Amino acid sequence: MSGNAHLPDTGRVLLTRRTAALLVLAGLWPLLVWPNFVRVVATDERAFDGGPTAYLLVHAALAVGSMAIGVALVVLGVRAWRHARRPATTRAATPVG
């Protein structure tokens, strides 16, 4: 049995602020790495041969997909951070009963 058995089921998943921060950091990583990688790929001699090559298109698709996942992780992490429960020391005391 979990330690939160006394809490009502709201149908929502509550994440800790630590987990939310991990989501944000994991989402920022591809947003920081892929733009530089795309710039390097685009200037590679294999990227164009009278037009975009499969090499460029595949790497562009990978970058777009990875960055889209990164944006989704950042959004989820920020939302989770905002809705995370505050530590007990900062929460206002609520009367029981």
pLDDT tens profile 13-51? 788 999 999 999 999 999 999 999 999 999 999 999 999
pLDDT tens profile 52-80? 999 999 999 999 999 999 999 999 999 99
Q: How confident is the model at residue 5, as a pLDDT?
A: 63
Global pTM value: 0.73
Q: How confident is the model at residue 75, as a pLDDT?
A: 97
Are 16 and 84 spatial neighbours (Cβ–Cβ below 8 Å)? yes
51: Cβ contacts below 8 Å, ≥ 6 apart? none
Exposure b/e, 67-80, CB count within 10 A at least 16 = b:
beebeebbebbeeb
Q: How confident is the model at residue 32, as a pLDDT?
A: 97
